[in-house]
Chain A
Amino acid sequence: MNVTLIGYGAGNVASVRFALERLGARVRITDDPTDVAEAERVILPGVGAAGYAMQRLKALGLVEALRAFPRPLLGVCLGQQLLFETSAEDGETELLNLIPGRVEAIEPAPSRPSPHMGWSRLTIRRDDPLLEGVKDGDWAYFVHGFVCPDGPATLAAADYGVPVPAVVNSANRWGCQFHPERSAAAGARILKNFLELPA
C-alpha cells in the first residue's frame, strides 16, 4: 500500500504518517507537484488557518496538481475544508473548489464552546467504501473552529448544535473533518479503507 502525503508546512503530517505506518502503508511525504501527479493515492492533511494553507499550496504549485489528480484523494481536517469552494476564514479565502459551498465559522453558544474540540459520535448518512465497518454512534476526535457546508457530499455527520459534515465525498475526493489518525479504532478503519480504495 503506497500513499503520498502532502507536506506543505501546515500541520499534522507526522501524526498522519505514523497512523498510516501503523497500518503497514509505505508513506511518501512530498511538496512537489510532479510527485503528486504520479501518486497512487494522496492525503492532504492540515491544521491551522485556511489562508496560510492555500498560500502554501499556491507557492508550491500544488493547487493545479491537486485539482487535476484523478485517483483517490483524502483531505483531513483543514484538508477536508480545502476541498470546498471558499472559506470565511482569514477574510474570504478561495479554496480548491472541488466541492461546492462555503466553509463558515462555528459560532460559540452556551454549552457549545468553539473550537469544536473533542470526541463526537458519527451518524452515517450514506454507505460508501470509505465507511466500511464504521457504525452509527462510533466516536471520532474533532478539532476545528470552521465547518463545511452540509449537502449532498456529506457521507457522515456529527451533531455540534449545527450539523458537522464529518466525512464527505465527491467523485474521487474524500474528506474527514475529524482526525482519523487520532480517532482510535474508527479512525484507523477509515484510513485502512482509504488505502484499499481502487486507485
Chain B
Amino acid sequence: MTARRIIPCLDVKDGRVVKGVRFEGHVDMGDAAELAARYRDQGADELVFYDITASPEGRTLDYGWVQAIARLLDIPFCVAGGIRTVEQAARCLDHGADKVSINSPALERPELIGEMAARLGRQCVVVGVDSAFQDGEWRVHQYTGDPNARRGAGRLTMDWIVEAQGLGAGEIVLNCIDQDGVRKGYDVAQLAEARRRLTIPLVASGGAGAVEHFRDVFVEADVSGALAASVFHSGAIAIPDLKRYLDQAGVEVRI
C-alpha cells in the first residue's frame, strides 16, 4: 500500500512563505526555496506551493519559482494559485511541477477539471476545496486567500467533491477552514464523511497543532495525506519526530 503522506504547505506571497490565522494577518516565514530544501531534507513526502494572492487578483502564478523549486527537489510537489486554463496548467508541469491544484477557477467553470484531466491525465489534477460549517451543512467557500474577496460558493461540500471526482479530479484536498490555523485538530468527522464518498485520494488540511492530530486523521478518517503549514514553519512539530511518533502508533509512514 502507500505510506501516509506528510505534506507541508507553503503559502507563497511575492516569493516569500507566509502564514496567518484563518487566512488573515500574514506573517513572513522565510524564502520559499530555502524552506522547500529544509522540508525535503527532513523527510517531507510532498510539498504544496500555494500562491495565495494569484486567484483573487485574477493573475496566474510565476513559472520562474516553479522551475527553481523543480530543480531543487527530489520529492513531488504541487502548485496552486490562479490556474484558469489547461494551457497554464500544462506550463506548470512543463516547468517541473508534478501536480496542479485548482480551487476557485474550478468553481467558476467546473469543465476546467475535465479539460485538464483529458489533456494532462487525472493524476495531476488536484481540486482544492475550502469548506466551512454553516447553517447545518458543510459549505464551499472561495477566494479565501483574500479576506475582502472571500465568499460562499453556493455549493455543499459533499456534493462538490463528488462532482469534481466525476469530472476528472485525481485527488481532493479538503481544507476545513473552521479549523485552519487554530491548531485544534483536523475536522475528522467532515474528512471521514468525504472519504466515504470518494474513490480518489483525499488529503486533509486545516487544524494540525499536535502529533496526535495527524494520528487521529489517518486512523479515523483514513485520508491518504495530511497537509499542514504553521506547525512545521514555526518548528512546533519537526517532521522526523512526527514520523517516528506515527510509526510507533502503527501508522505506516516513509522513514
Contacts and interface: CB of A to CB of B under 8 A. Distances in A.
Given A12-B98, A118-B224, A142-B2, 9 more contacts: A14-B93, A18-B96, A113-B201, A117-B170, A117-B171, A119-B254, A120-B2, A145-B123, A145-B170
Interface in B82-130: 93-99, 118-124
B80 interface: no
Interface residues of A, number: 42
A112 B1 contact: yes
A183 B198 contact: no
Interface stretch (A46-54, A61-69, A123-131): A46-54
Interface of A: 11-15, 18-19, 21-22, 47-49, 52, 78, 108, 111-120, 139, 141-145, 159-161, 179, 181-185, 187-188
Interface of B: 1-3, 5, 45, 67, 70-71, 73-76, 93-99, 118-124, 170-171, 198-202, 222, 224-225, 254
A141 B1 CA distance: 12
A118 B123 contact: no
A160 B222 CA distance: 16
Given A14-B70, A182-B74, A118 B94 contact: no
B75 A184 contact: yes
A77 to B, nearest CB: 9
B96 A139 contact: no
B74 A22 contact: yes
B96 A15 contact: yes
A151 to B, nearest CB: 22
A18 B71 contact: yes
Contacts of A181: 74
Contacts of B224: 113, 117-118
